[in-house]
Amino acid sequence: MSEVIVAFSIFASVMALGFIGDVLSRKVLLPSVVMLMVLGIIFGPLLNIFPYDSLIAAVPYIAPITIAFISFEAGMSMDVYKVIHQTRRAAIISIFGFLLSMIVVGSFLHFALGTRWAYSLLMASAWSGMNTAIVNAVLKYVKVQEETRATFTMISLLDDPLVLISTLMILNYILLGEIGSTEILIKLASNISTSIFIGVILGLIWLNVLYFLRKDEYTYTFTLASFIFVYALTEILGGAGVIAVFLFGLIIGNYKSIVKSLKLKISVNELSKLESMIQKFHSELTFMLRCFFFTFIGLIYVFTGVFELLLGLACSFLLHLTKYAAAKIGTFRSPMAADVPVMGFIVGQGAASASMSTLPLVYNLPYAATFTSLALNLILLNNITSVALPFIAAKLTKKRRLEKI
């Protein structure tokens, strides 16, 4: 019974710290990610209030549920047709920037730590996306063109799915073990196809279920149970739960286009109110879970040495460099090129990157403690610099323009 009380006490305390951290971040104008992690570090490794072993034991349970919620939200918030038809440039910059960052940072980690390529690319993949909250925070006080604002917001929305899917695919490759390349390709193809099949089929079924239950109460609770079931079923059948849940959310979020394309006997107008309600409730619940998760990440932080800190600085520099290069190339001969000195420095990570960074701990991979420590150093630094550097760049750009006049 005492263990249950300890678990409840830890959970309640972390939730309270998460709420306090979010309130404080608004007061001091720091990204909430930074404040939450700092509070976690203070009450975890510094004051040693929470039992470290109990926290580590909870990682395999907390990380997957966080990932499932984030994946569903990422799917619901993405307008596929808008991405394809209206913001092709955003898709190109997002994919090119992600791949460039992953290859450069992964190569650096491989040679610096002497780890397998798969382990290095796993962590590089987790860190190669930028977070929507950081982009929005920068855009609040930095003036850019409306086209730039829309494009970079869309890039940040695209980055989370890229981080989730890419990192999970590399993890699956690692977990397959030492087998032949043909077997690996077959298993990966099976893994991905299983995930796609379950996510798409159950997503389409759930659209019809939602329409049938459109006038009933507590529909979100039922939907919550459904995507957790999708995650669990996919994992049981050998697929990647994250991919399936993302596609499940993608279908729910893009119901208007899907109903029209498949000519389903569903009234879009009747379903729209229900979809808005589900999205509202889910975003609030995901926000609460994010606060909890970032505080929890700070609590399990272990300072493994100056080398990891310097390594984090080097990785941060490479991420800034590659994202800047991607923005520079992606906006070539575009009016948005004038805003690259500002927007090209944003590399701040969110819950998707943080949750993916815990995978080595969840699966007890080699270098798990080193990667976790490195990830926290990197995320803290990147979120601070992603707010500070664009602001400094904007000031310098404005100064140069005034001098020319």
Phi, psi of 116, deg, nearest 5 = -60, 150
Q: What is the pLDDT of residue 318?
A: 92
Residue 1 has pLDDT above 50, yes or no: no
Condensed to tens digits (0 to 9), the pLDDT of residues 285-334 reads 777 777 777 777 777 777 777 888 888 889 989 998 998 898 888 888 78
* Cα(41)–Cα(20) distance, integer angstroms: 14
Looking at residue 50, the DSSP 8-state letter turns out to be S
Helices (H), 268-404: 268-299, 306-330, 340-343, 351-357, 359-362, 368-404
Q: Give the residue, 334 or 132, on which the prediction is more confident.
A: 334
CA distance 376 to 257: 39
Tokens (6 digits) for 313: 């600085």
Q: How far apart are CA 244 and CA 75, in angstroms?
A: 10
> Which range among 105-114, 133-142, 225-234, 248-257 has the greatest average pLDDT?
105-114
Cα separation values, 397 from 13, 22, 341, 394, Å: 45, 32, 8, 5
| Helix, strand, coil percentages for the chain (3-state, nearest 5) | 85, 0, 15
- Look at 267 and 125; give whichever has higher pLDDT: 125
Question: Does position 135 have pLDDT exceeding 50, yes or no?
Answer: yes
Tokens representing residue 16 in the block: 């309270």
Task: Provide φ and ψ at 215, rounded to 5°.
Answer: -100, 0
Domain count, the chain: 1
Q: 3-state class of 49 per DSSP?
A: coil
Q: In CATH, what number is assigned to the domain containing residue 54?
A: 1.20.1530.20
Whole-number pLDDT of residue 390: 75
- In Å, the largest CA–CA distance within the chain is 73
For the segment 15-55, what is each residue's pLDDT rounded down to a tens digit? Answer: 787 777 777 776 766 667 777 778 888 888 888 887 777 77
pLDDT digits (tens, 9 = 90+) for 266-285: 776 767 766 777 777 777 77
Residue 100 confidence (pLDDT) = 93
**pTM of the entire structure?**
0.73
* Residue 75 · residue 28 · CB < 8 Å: no
Q: What pLDDT, on the 0 to 100 scale, is given for residue 58?
A: 75
With tokens 């109110």, the residue in question is: 273
Supply the DSSP symbol for 335. Answer: G
pLDDT at 255: 80
Give the separation between CA 337 and CA 372, rounded to whole angstroms: 36
Instruction: Give the mean model confidence (pLDDT) for residues 141-166.
Output: 77
Q: Which amino acid is located at 115 in the chain?
A: T
192-242 tens-digit pLDDT: 788 889 988 998 888 888 878 777 666 777 788 888 889 889 888 877 787
Q: Rounded mean pLDDT of the chain?
A: 78
The whole domain housing 196 covers 2-404
**For 340-388, how does the pLDDT look when each residue is reduced to its tens digit (9 = 90+)?**
877 777 787 777 787 788 888 888 888 887 887 888 888 878 877 877 7
Q: Alpha-carbon distance 5 to 292, whole Å?
A: 18
